[in-house]
Amino acid sequence: MSAQNTIHRMTAPQITARKGGEPIVCLTAYDAPTAAILDAHCDLILVGDSVGMVVHGLTTTVGVTLDMMIMHGQAVMRGAHKALVVVDLPFGSYEDSVETAFRSASRVMMETGCQAVKIESGSYAAETVRYLVERGIPVMSHVGLRPQSMNVLGGFRARGRTQAVEDEIIANAIAAAEAGSFAVVVEGTSVEIADKVTKAVGIPTIGIGASAGCDGQILVTPDMLGMFDRVPKFVKKYGTMKDMVETAVSEYHAEVTARTFPGEANTYKFK
């Protein structure tokens, strides 16, 4: 491939440089074909631990393993060649010590080839972020509603809708930014809190159930494509994939049972 035709992948510093500028477009992907489609339209593709719920049928993200994340990260990297690919560190793979976090993050990056990892950022997270970044691992943080903490928070409900939690969310975001995160996801907060976080940090905020004033937006791709009947309030369905799949499968069933498929165009003749 000649130099002028080389595709340059988005980098973490380039994402950071978009603070206050052109909005950052992000979506999730878990397989190569989807990643290939998203790659032309997204600045950042997240291999989220949401894979446990939307692909594997788990009721929460807590059961997702590091091996699962690596497998899906490898698939996404085969499909995406332009966007920055970030892989979630799953529950239990980074919380107990910075050394554990580094072992998990370095394994993810070495085995997938991704460009960054994401961690959910509680009060413990700043030390972990700093440790990883100093050792060459770009980190995207995550504040507000943190799905891995749903058992403590009491379920998947918006985290930042009251004054009581505003200071905590803003403080976590500032700590994550000061520790070296290149961006921070802000999930499940009021518009007011999300806007305050965006103003308080010098790195881009990526909103999900937050505010249009964030520096970028992300959604779980199967949600926005309409694969499920029920989705969170903050999701806008841009497609009707469930209806399309059901219609196609129903037609296939009818043609198979009527013996009209395969037809002449779908079969081979003896030469």
pLDDT (tens digit, 9 = 90+) per residue, 77-136?
999 999 999 999 999 999 999 999 999 999 999 999 999 999 987 667 899 999 999 999
Note if the bond before 13 is cis, omega within 30 degrees: no
| Catalytic annotation present for 187 | yes
Q: What is the mean pLDDT of residues 225-248?
A: 96
pTM value is 0.92
Q: Which CATH class is domain 3-239?
A: alpha beta
Q: What is the pLDDT of residue 3?
A: 45
Tell me the three state secondary structure of residue 149: helix
Q: Is the pLDDT of residue 164 over 80?
A: no
Task: For 31-73, write each residue's pLDDT tens digit.
Answer: 999 999 999 999 999 999 999 999 999 999 999 999 999 999 9
Q: Is pLDDT above 90 for 4? A: no
252, pLDDT greater than 90: yes
- Mean of pLDDT values over 244-264: 97
Could you give phi then psi for residue 242, rounded to 5 degrees?
A: -60, -45
Q: What is the 3-state secondary structure (H, E, C) of 70-120?
A: HHHHHHHHHHCCCCEEEEECCCCCCCCCHHHHHHHHHHHHHHHCCCEEEEE
Q: Which of 120, 166, 168, 187 is catalytic?
A: 187
**What tens digit of pLDDT does each residue of 182-218 get?**
999 999 999 999 999 999 999 999 999 999 999 999 9
Q: Categorize the per-residue pLDDT at 228 as very low, low, confident or very high, splitting at 50, 70 and 90.
A: very high
